[in-house]
Amino acid sequence: MYSGSMSTPDRLIEATRALLWERGYVGTSPKAILERAGAGQGSMYHHFSGKPDLALAAIRRTAEELRAALEDVLGPPGTPYERIEAYLRRERDVLRGCPVGRLTMDPDVIASDELRAPVDEMLAWLRGRLAAVVEEGRVQGQFAASLDSGQTAATILATVQGGYVLARASGSPAAFDAAVRGLLALLSPGDAPKGGRS
C-alpha cells in the first residue's frame, strides 16, 4: 500500500493516521496498524514506545498537514471574504468528517492530555487564523464593524465541524453545503453567494 522507499516508522505513522480517521483510537489495534503498514511483528515497539506514542505521532502529522493546507487557503491573495469562502468551500470528504475534529468524539483521545493536546492546538490555531482574517476584513470595511473577530471565527469553525455531524447523520453532504451557504450569506458584504461546496 505504501511506497517501498517509505521508512518503517513513516509507514506505521501513515497507517495509524488512516485507521484513526476510519475507526477511532479504540478501533485502531496494533495488529491492524501492522497489517496496514505492511510491517513485521514487533516493529511498532522497535520504533515507538507503544500505541499511544504512535498515535501521538500520527495525530501530530495530521495536524501539521492540515495546518499547511489551510494556510494555503487562508493566506493571501484574495479578499478576507474570498479567503473565508475558499476555506468553507475547500474540497473535503464531508461524510468522513475532519481528521482532527473527529478525534474530539473519541473518549480515549479526550481522556488523554497528551493525545488531546495536538487536537486542541490545531483547532486553537485555526480559530486564531480565522479571527485574523475576519479582523482584516472588519478593518477594511468588508465585514460589519460590530463583528467580534474571535466570536465570528468560533462560529465559522463550529459551522464546519457541526456541518460534518449533520452530513454524517443524514448520509448526505447536503446539510454541510446548506450550513456553508447560510454562513456565507450572513458574512457576505453584498448579495448572498450562490452554489454549494466546490
pLDDT, one tens digit per residue, over 50-85 is: 999 999 999 999 999 999 999 999 998 999 999 999
Burial of residue 99 (CB within 10 Å: 0-12, 13-18, 19+) is buried
What own/partner pairs with CB < 8 Å and gap ≥ 24 does 32-41 have? 36/1, 37/1, 37/2, 37/8, 37/11, 37/12, 38/1, 38/2, 38/11, 39/8, 39/11, 39/12, 39/15
Answer yes or no: is pLDDT of 198 > 70.
no
What is this structure's pTM? Answer: 0.90
Q: Where are the domains of the chain?
A: 8-187
- Give the pLDDT band of residue 143 (cuts 50, 70, 90): very high
State the residue for C-alpha cell 506514542. 53
Give percent of the chain with pLDDT exceeding 90: 89
- What is the C-alpha radius of gyration for the chain, rounded to an integer number of angstroms? 19
| Strand, coil or helix: 191 | coil
| 8-187 topology per CATH | Tetracycline Repressor; domain 2 (1.10.357)
Q: Cell for 23? A: 475507526
